[in-house]
Structure 1
Amino acid sequence: MRSTLKFAVPLAVAALALGACGTKGGDTTTPAASGGAAACGNYKIGMFGALTGPNANLGIYIQNGVNLALDDYNKKHADCKVTLENYDSQGDPTQAPALAKKAIDDKKVVGIVGPAFSGESKAADPAFNEAGLVTITPSATNPKLADNGWKTFFRALGNDATQGPAAAKYIKDTLKSTKTFVIDDASEYGKGLADIVRQDLGSQVVGNDTIQQKQTDFSASVTKVTSSGADALFFGGYSPEAAPMIKQLRDAGWKGTFVVADGVKDQSFIDNAKEAAEGTIITCPCVPPDVAPAFQAAYKAKYNEDPNTYSGEGYDSATILLDGIAAGKDRASMVDFVKAYDKKGVTKQLKFDAKGESADIKVFAYKVENGKIVSVGEIK
């Protein structure tokens, strides 16, 4: 959960702020500096994702990274600060279009970090594209999002076309599974990812099932898994369903390895599943905290905890937009600025291909050990 403790930000943040100034060949003059206080745009960036509801932790982790990027920027540009506008979707795609309109109608908003989830991205991004409002998602991983021709769509991490094969590879090569069961939650994210894993595992998939979000009784799925003889189970979905699912499987005596993805990489999974979570493998196209030690130290100083899932990607996504504002870009000119962006961030080299996909992609495996999620290395 997000800490409410606030600490003085150490020198590590100052170093991050210095590194976040400008882009390759870019002008880093602020609007205020180039034309005085009257030229200051009083711009905002938006954070679009779940900040309340069952998947709020994932949104809050991203928001923490965004707020840290804003702290860094505003210290350097005290005469022309940028503010954050939050659009709390609760992770619900049905709320996304109205929230997108609200962001679009606020002409001070020059870019969006998000939408955080794939379903809400599918629902909101057509409106953002039509309005010319840039979105940089730090966490929505459905591959099809990049196939819509949206000129305003950018993704600061690898998609499930890379995560799915990596998960399948780990299941085959590291876990040595020969009988894998696959379950999805019917969501844009969960089903899309599970289908890729199914395809890559091929004939070793011994059974399939689909559950629904907010489901709590998994007895039918438990029966199917235990009777299949599966030695591994891949679940495409989120932590609110993953926790009771694995608890009920363990209670039924299933001994196989539970494999999940980034939608479950959240402490709430462990808090709710308790000892049943032990040994769970989690894949994620997100970097471990110690990959960026200066960012890790700055984040820990502000929030009294290590960066969590997509905190670094949230920081990087916000920094790109803030660099654009520093270079004098507004909503209309931000798209071309982001397209041409090429600079090292805290998680990776921040650069995009013609479809808005990240040009630098890595997928890591994590494991639940002694009640904590620990990195077990990059899946090559």
Structure 2
Amino acid sequence: MSGARLGRVLVLAAASSLVLAACAGGTSGGGESGGDATTVKIGFMGDLTGENSGIVIPPYNGAKMAIDEYNATNPKVKIELKKYDSQGKPDQATSLITTAVGSDKIAALIGPAFSGESKAIGGTLEESKIPSISPSATNAGLASNGWKYWHRVVANDNDQGPRIAEFLATAKSPKKAFVLSDDQEYSVGLAEAVTKTFKEKGVEVETDKFAKDASDYSSTVTKVKAANPDVIFFGGYYAQGGRLLKQLRDGDVKTIFASGDGSLDAQLVSGAGPAAAEGAVIACPCNIPSADVTGASKTFYDNYKKAASSEPAIYSTEGYDAATAYIKAVQAGKTTSEDINTFLSTVSFEGVSKPIKFKANGEPENNAIFVYQVKGGVLKLLGPSATAKLEG
């Protein structure tokens, strides 16, 4: 190759390198490009196609709606939402977060949605200095790991468990309770919190635990029937809860059945059958907007229904608020992971679900718990646990 020709090739190569560098520098995933970012990547991780996806699709829809609304204002820095379907499995979440942090270079994460997967990848997020905000993981122990990049916008099971136990104690004055769980992180933690509070109130408690993937609960049904409790509490998700409730009723166990936020979905009713589910009580650190709300909640209700082609459901507002916290960080010029995390330590705004502000350990300042009951085959909000009245 002649010297002149070689020179032209080198000039073209150098020009191409400059163009590629300029393109790469315009998009920030993990924050390497600093203040010149034009796009910030935020991930959403949770069960989007698995058996308990009914709890996770609403917060995903809420998060997507918030980000779509923000991007529609044509901001200088846009947000790209990347979804990671863990199906609620900790091992799957572990694999996905490697991709999210590595090749995808997300700057922050909404999720994981469930407690087990949150525990599984929390250390990786911490080591990678990637902030996370879960819209729905409630296991109390998650706040005890010393993680500086972890946050959630919902009350934990040490708030939820005692409140639902206190509500049931007031409503039914039980002498004996039977507390059930499967072997998932969330289920065990919530059941333990409920058991502890019942015992503190002088209620005799029997317990039983079964495998997450079990389908035949006849052994548990036999134990519950023999105990003849005044209340039954199940600390788990609706997929298992619906099957359990059906088999309890088929076994002629008519005792009032209660559960936590993992069961707050219409599929609890369809899984058990409307007749079996009637009267079931579900607690949740979430206040789901209905058609008759007013103000900001009404605006959210209308916009969500239009965007998602469905009414708001469990944690749809929490997903929206988690995304909004990140949006406010980006609006403040925070586009790197560490800058976003620093911003979260001081963020404070009136969310759709509740006022959003984080404690030093990532917990939300607001820890309200609400009670719902299945009436006429649908979930009806009874109100805050301190003032709600059981119907029937």
Normalising TM by the smaller chain, what interval?
0.7 to 0.9
Corresponding residue of 2:5: none
Q: Deviations over 1:304-334 (max 9, x none)?
A: 3221010100000011111111221121211
Tell whether 2:289 aligns with 1:289: yes
Q: State the 1:283 CA deviation.
A: 0.3
Corresponding residue of 1:23: none
Judge which range, 298-307 or 270-279, deviates more. 298-307
Corresponding residue of 1:12: none
Q: Distance in 2 between matches of 1:378 and 1:64?
A: 25
Q: Which amino acid aligns with 1:344?
A: E
Q: CA RMSD in A?
A: 1.5
Runs (4+) of structure 1 moved beyond 6 Å?
none
Q: Deviations over 1:79-116 (max 9, x none)?
A: 54311111111000111222111111146521111010
Tell whether 2:41 aligns with 1:41: no
Q: Which of these residues, 179, 191, 206, is aligned with residue 182 of structure 1? A: 179
Q: 1:206 and 1:109, CA in 2 relative to 1: closer, same or farther beyond 3 A? A: closer
Q: Distance in 2 between matches of 1:353 and 1:264?
A: 27
Q: 1:191 and 1:45, CA in 2 relative to 1: closer, same or farther beyond 3 A? A: same
Q: Which of these residues, 351, 355, 358, is aligned with residue 352 of structure 1? A: 358
Structure 1: unaligned runs, 5 residues or longer: 1-30, 32-37
Q: Work out which of the two has the higher radius of gyration on C-alpha atoms and give 1 or 2.
A: 2
DSSP-derived class of the 1:207 partner: strand
Q: Which of these residues, 303, 314, 318, is aligned with residue 319 of structure 2? A: 314
Q: State the 1:214 CA deviation.
A: 1.8
Corresponding residue of 1:278: 278
Corresponding residue of 1:213: 212
Q: Which amino acid aligns with 1:310?
A: Y
Q: Distance in 2 between matches of 1:68 and 1:362?
A: 24
Q: Which of these residues, 93, 100, 107, is aligned with residue 90 of structure 2? A: 93
DSSP-derived class of the 2:66 partner: helix
Q: Distance in 2 between matches of 1:97 and 1:253?
A: 42
Q: Distance in 1 between matches of 2:276 and 2:343?
A: 47
DSSP-derived class of the 1:289 partner: coil
Tell whether 2:282 aligns with 1:253: no
Q: Deviations over 1:190-229 (max 9, x none)?
A: 1111001111101423421001112110100111111101
Q: Distance in 2 between matches of 1:332 and 1:143?
A: 25
Q: Which amino acid aligns with 2:138?
A: T
Q: State the aligned residue count.
A: 344
Q: State the 1:62 CA deviation.
A: 1.1
Q: Distance in 2 between matches of 1:334 and 1:78?
A: 17
Q: Which amino acid aligns with 1:294?
A: T
Residue pairs, 1:80-229, within 5 angstroms: 80-106=77-103, 108-202=105-199, 203-229=202-228
Q: Deviations over 1:120-154 (max 9, x none)?
A: 00000100011110000010001110111101011
Q: Distance in 1 between matches of 2:106 and 2:177?
A: 46
Q: Distance in 2 between matches of 1:256 and 1:372?
A: 19
Q: Distance in 2 between matches of 1:230 and 1:356?
A: 38
Q: Distance in 1 between matches of 2:204 and 2:320?
A: 38
Judge which range, 105-114 or 244-253, deviates more. 105-114
In the superposition, the TM-score normalised over structure 1's length comes to 0.88
Q: Distance in 2 between matches of 1:78 and 1:144?
A: 38
1:41 touches 1:108 (CA, 8 Å); kept in 2? no
In the superposition, the TM-score normalised over structure 2's length comes to 0.85
Q: Distance in 1 between matches of 2:266 and 2:75?
A: 36
Corresponding residue of 2:304: 299
Q: Distance in 2 between matches of 1:181 and 1:113?
A: 35
Q: Which amino acid aligns with 2:315?
A: Y
Structure 2: unaligned runs, 5 residues or longer: 1-27, 29-34, 387-392
Q: Distance in 2 between matches of 1:248 and 1:52?
A: 25
Q: Distance in 1 between matches of 2:130 and 2:363?
A: 17
DSSP-derived class of the 1:82 partner: strand
Q: Deviations over 1:260-303 (max 9, x none)?
A: 01111111111121121111100000112146222111111222
Relative contact order, CA 8 A, sep 6+: which one is greater? 1
Q: State the 1:176 CA deviation.
A: 2.5
DSSP-derived class of the 1:65 partner: helix
